[in-house]
Structure formats: C-alpha cells, structure tokens
Chain A
C-alpha cells in the first residue's frame, strides 16, 4: 500500500514538467495569431484576437494564467475549433486508444509466442527464421509497411479498405502496421528472458524432480521470465504513441496523434497541451499499472 502511495505521489511531477516544457517551446517558436489570421490580417484584427487569447501579456504571465486555469481543470479553448480543447481531445482519444490497445495486444501475443518459440528451439531453424523476421520488422519503417499493406490487402486482394474509420475491417491494417513495429522487441526480450530463466537452479531442480519440458516451461520458467516483458510494455508506450502518429496519417485515422501534429503546425497551444497532457497521463498511468503488475507477479519487487 505504501508502495502504491509513493508511486501515486510522484505522478504529477512529470506531467507538470512535460506541460510546462511544451507551453514554453510552442510560445517561443511561433505566433498563433499570425498563423490563424493569415498574411492579410490588419493590425487591429491581430490586436483583438491577441487580447481575446491573452497573448498580449509577457510569456511568464501567460504561463501563470495557464497554470491557474490548468489547476482548475481548464485547458483553454482551441484557437481553431473554438471549443474546449479537452472535449476535442477526448473525442479523438477513443479512436487512438482502440488502435493502441489492439496494436499493443497483438504485438504482445505475437512477440511473446515467437520469443518462446525461439528460446525452445534455440539455434535451430525456428529461432533463425523468427530472429531474421524480427530484425526485418524492426528495420521496416512504419509508413513504408503501411503503404505496402494497403497495396497488397486493399488493392491487389481487395479484402480490406485502404483507410478511414468504420467497422472492424478498418482496424486490421493500422493495427498490424502498429504491431509490426513493436513485435521485434517483445520477441528478443522474451527469448533472452526465457533462456536465462531456463538456466536458473529452480528449473534444474524442477526437471530433476521429474517435471517434463513442457511443464517446466509453463509452470516454472514463464512465470519468472515474464517480468522483463511486462516492464517492456511500459517502456514501449512512448514509442507506440510516436508510431500512432505515423499510422494515423497513413490510414487517415481520426486519432489524437494527427490532431496533435496539426495543432502544433497551427500553434493551437490549448489543443497541443491537452493532447500532450492526456498522452502523458496515459503513459504515466500505464507505467504505474505495469509497476503494480510487476509487484503482483514478483514478490521480490514488493520487498524492496
């Protein structure tokens, strides 16, 4: 319980740092008023909008206002959409979460199974074949893979739609694209972890007491080998979000990743901050869950 409490207390600090950093960088590198009103805006129009958005104050003062609103849960109004920034982000978040959770699940299932196969058949054909595929998967850029998948499954075979959001069939290609970029890591970590655990004395003991290879693997090796894989999930979340931006662009998926990129180009600071905040919360919470899960799986972590 104290462990949980300590972890929870640490949550706001990274969030605040991330948000402050994004705010300052965005405000220093571009003027939302100039971008929004375009080239032929009159100075009066610019002054009017600047006042409306509180951009006529010095940046530290603006940051003060911003923090004050933030503490009250107000992320401000989007410059482009004229709606509460958080509402817009929530609208898009669902699309991204579906994609991320499916992609991550697929990556874990495929990656762990393939990793186990590699470990079991170490230095034999399945190990080589899977390892080569894993390296290939890791070296393939997502945008390229996405386009290849569209070419083959949507155009040659006509089985799946090329892009957009709709039924389950719209999810297949983006999910596979996103997962492919994560699978190799899970394969490699699972393989090494299983191999290392297999060498542990308690496994030898189990085998000596008559446990078959299968029983030793499933009951003794895997429960002990799975922890590095769980911590990898936490580490991969940031990369996953980066992958989501690319995947959403290729497949015209209306998610938070694309929203964030377009908001950055428009210097729509409230939207960027709200998206970054939500993404950061997702990552921090997921990491917390990963920690707790690890503690649940492995009593040694709780003892520390």
Chain B
C-alpha cells in the first residue's frame, strides 16, 4: 500500500511538472517588478523615503517629480504665487478617488492640516514645515500661506501624498493607511508585508489607464536572486543590479540594462574638529590620493559619475559648472602631507554602512587602499545601522565616514548637512551657513543659483568631505518591456510600462 502511494505521489509530481512547462513565467497581463528595498509599510506617514515608491502607486501629491527630478503638475494642474508667502494651486478637474467620489480642494486642505498639525507623527512633515495656513478658495482652488518666502514648497509638496478626507475621517488614519484609496494610476489589491504588493489598474486615471492590467511589486533583497528571477522571466523589471553581476545581465540578448545618475552624492566626510583633518592641506592630500575615475570603473561598472569637486551632481539645481574634481596625484598628496607635518603619514579609519549604497563597502575599501598607498594608513570599519544612527546623532563617526546625501534635485536638501541647522555637521563655516539660510528664503531662482554656486566654491576650497560619486541607479528589464526608465529619486514610475 505504501509503495503504491509513493508511486502515485511521484507520478503526480511528474505530471504537474509536465502540465506547467513554464511554471516560472510571469503572467501576461501582470507587470512584475523585483524591488531591492521594500519597506514594511505602505503608509505615507511612516517609513523611510523609499516607502514613497509604494505610496505613490495609489496616492499622488499636488506637484510631482518626474524620473529626472523635474517638477511636474500632478493633482495641481498649475500654480502661481500671489505674494512671496501666498501660493495658489489650481486643482485638476474631473479627478476621482478610487471609490468614485470626486477629488476636491477640501481633501488637500484636510491632508496639509493634518500633516502640519504638531500632534501628528508624520515622518516627512519637515518637508512642508513652513506652511502657516491652507485655505479652500473654491472646489478646485487651494491657497497655501507660508511663514516666510518658501522656494522649496513645491519640492516639499512632492513628497506629501494627498489623502481623501471622507475615507480617512471615517476609518481613521491607521486603517485608511492600511488599504489606500487614492487617485493614482493603480488601485490597492493586496499587501503582504515582506513579500509582495499587488495592485490593479485604475481605468479612470486622469493620466489615462496604465498600460498593464495588474502590477505586482515583489521584494527580493538578495541581488543574485533578483537577477536570477529576471533571467527566469519571473520578473519583468528589477531594481539595483549588483555591479559584479552586470556582465551576466549584459551578456544576455533578452535583457536590457538601464541606468540614470541619481541625486545621491557619495562622500567621505572628515571630522574637521580634530587633528589631523583640521588641516585643509591634509584633506586635500586625501583628495589627491584617491583615484576616483578608476574607482568608478571598478566599483560602479562605469555607471554614475565622478562629482565635479562639489557636493551636488550635474543635474541638481545649484551645480557650479566652473568647478572640477582635483586630479589623482599621489606625489602631490605626499608633498601636501609633508607640508602639513606628516612626512611619514598617519593612521586613520573610515566608517561605512554595508549595503545602504551601491558597492559601499567595496568603495570604502578601495579608497582606503589608495590612501594607504599615499602614506595615510587607512582601515575600514563597517558599522551596523542602529549603531550608525547613534554615532551620527552624537557626532562620533570618527575621523572619516562614508555617506550618501540625497538632493532630490535641489542643493538646499543636501547642503543642510554641512550647516549648524542640521546638528550633524563636523565642519562649520559662517558664510556657508548664512548663504544656506538666504537660499531658502528667496523665490528669485537666479539669486538662488548664485548662492548655491558660491556655496559649492566654499566647499571645494575647504573640503569638509571628499566628493566621490553621483551614484547610479542601475536597473534591468526583459527586452520586451517598454516605457520603463529608472528614476533619479529611485521611486518606481510604472504607469506607462508595457510588456509586449
């Protein structure tokens, strides 16, 4: 009897294998995306920046960023400033929530009021901190008043999902954030934390229905498995191809690699309060000691770019075209060290996270090797995330640490980390702090550009950090996937993606 059952079992297994010859293939009407980082939340109020990648599938902001970090109309069709502290937003007409009710100015006021309420815990509330009041002018018009001229209001609003007043009031935030009812291109279907997020197309989307009927975003944190899932056809698009696996993707004709330079600037920051890095000559010696072009080729597969001797990437507002990276010159590095009183070099250390940025540990190790060759004997210390945040807060990262600063397209966002306002700066410069404050309180774009250009000059001379790379976003897709491109801000924009 047992043997009989065993035979039946084997036969069943064999039969099901024959019946499912392409058992691994993703279904035709469903777009499947393999995500590298998958947050444990789909709530706009919680979770790190990357949560927005899931949030903005169902919800939308007033003003959005496109894949290139440019501001584009979303729920607001157009806007104007009536005075430097008074903005008027004209809302898109005919937009419906996923439950069929019309989107109105009351929803916008409701959202902004609750986000800015001091009693609300909302992770990105700082992005619209300058808002003083929101007023409903009529059903399709909203006025926002700010406490001071706020050039960053639009960029800040791009991170705030507009929520539906009626649903949220009925269910409460907690419940409403669990099953989103938004205005976006995709409707919520199922969310399994740690596994996948299923969505269906919103046929009534104001921007036209999505090109695919269904969307599944899967979390596949291990890079090699992510690549394997694409090769096997289980996913159509994968985020973040590990650099060491790039050749195996590029080799296959049915796969395509896409990349864009992100707005994340990878830097090595000095503790300029203590010797030896309190001496700008020593900091410059390090700059000359690191061969950034070689590092870019070896550690980032040639994607992304070497920063132009300044904090921001080329595509970021505030980039100074007159500055250039200091050349790799070990002899000059040694001369500068000798001049600064370190003819025999010294011992130092770089702190880094592991896996937060593309090739982070590899880059730190290689940079340490180059510094050691120039006489600065450098070790690398990999720090766990929780401990890291404590070191950061207490300004105890040690002589050097590697970090990526995000600009989302405007220099204000990442220069803040070098000002007293951030409470996390090691280097201080009065002029720099003054300029930073000036840059965020005028609406004159020409003036703002001049301000950030000057700030870049100061940083280039003073070198509070070694400016390494504008990190790339490298994604891969099946060749029959159209309409996809990775985004500078790393959010998934999937509305127009089609599998042919």
Contact = CB atoms under 8 A, between A and B. Distances in A.
A112 to B, nearest CB: 18
B45 to A, nearest CB: 9
Nearest to B405: A39
Contacts of B41: 80-82
B171 interface: no
Given A29-B387, A162-B232, A265-B384, A150 B40 contact: no
A196 interface: no
A252 B228 contact: no
A37 B122 CA distance: 8
B385 A35 contact: yes
B232 A158 contact: yes
A81 B193 contact: yes
B125 interface: yes
Nearest to B173: A82
Interface stretch (A64-72, A115-123, A125-133, A254-262): A254-262
B5 to A, nearest CB: 16
Interface in A32-62: 34-42, 44-45, 48-49, 52
Given A38-B48, A40-B126, A80-B47, A252 B384 contact: no
Nearest to A262: B40
A29 B393 CA distance: 13
B121 A92 contact: no
Contact of A160 (B24, B118, B424): B24
Nearest to B122: A45
A41 B126 contact: yes
Interface stretch (A163-171, A198-206, A210-218): A163-171
B123 A162 contact: no
Contact of A162 (B234, B385, B387): B234
B250 interface: no
A250 interface: yes
A34 B174 contact: no
Interface stretch (B138-146, B217-225, B320-328, B371-379): B217-225
A31 interface: yes
A8 interface: no
Contact of B221 (A39, A159, A162, A252): A252
B390 interface: yes
Interface string A153-182: 011001111111100010000000000000
A151 B228 contact: yes
A82 B51 CA distance: 15
Residue among B24, B47, B234, B390 with the most chain A CB within 10 A?
B24
A36 B123 contact: yes
Interface string A81-101: 110000010011000000000
Contact of B234 (A37, A164, A258): A164
Contacts of B218: 164, 252
A191 to B, nearest CB: 26
Contacts of A163: 220, 225, 228-229, 234
Contacts of A160: 23-24
B46 interface: yes
Contacts of A49: 121
Interface in B53-84: none
Contact of A259 (B17, B43, B46, B194): B194
A113 B392 CA distance: 55
A220 interface: no
A246 B448 CA distance: 49
B389 interface: yes
B386 interface: yes
Nearest to A154: B232
Contact of A31 (B20, B126, B231, B393): B393
A227 interface: no
Contacts of A39: 392, 417, 422, 424
A9 B49 CA distance: 48
Q: Looking at chain B, what size class is its interface with the partner chain? A: 35 or more
Nearest to B118: A44
A30 B386 contact: yes
Interface string B377-418: 000000011110110110000000000000000000000110
Contacts of A295: none
B500 interface: no
Contacts of B43: 82
A81 B178 CA distance: 10
B225 A30 contact: no
Given A31-B389, A158-B24, A258 B194 contact: yes
Interface in A235-290: 249-252, 254, 258-259, 262, 264-267
B195 interface: yes
Given A29-B390, A30-B390, A38-B48, A250 B225 contact: yes
B10 interface: no
A254 B390 contact: no
Contacts of B170: none
Nearest to B355: A265
Contact of A80 (B40, B222, B422): B40
Contacts of B228: 147, 150-151, 154-155, 162-163
Contact of A161 (B24, B47, B118, B119): B24
B220 A252 contact: yes
Given A150-B225, A252-B222, A45 B125 contact: yes
B6 to A, nearest CB: 13
Contacts of A30: 385-387, 389-390
Nearest to A253: B195
Nearest to B385: A265
B225 to A, nearest CB: 5
Nearest to A271: B40
Contacts of A258: 194, 221
B1 interface: no
A81 B40 contact: yes
9 contacts: A26-B386, A38-B48, A80-B39, A80-B41, A160-B24, A163-B220, A250-B224, A262-B40, A266-B386
Given A81-B40, A143-B222, A254-B194, 8 more contacts: A39-B422, A48-B119, A81-B193, A162-B228, A169-B23, A250-B224, A252-B220, A265-B386
Interface of A: 26, 29-31, 34-42, 44-45, 48-49, 52, 80-82, 88, 91-92, 143, 147, 150-151, 154-155, 158-165, 169, 249-252, 254, 258-259, 262, 264-267
Pick the 6 closest A-B CB pairs, nearest first.
Answer: A30-B386, A254-B195, A254-B194, A162-B228, A252-B220, A80-B40
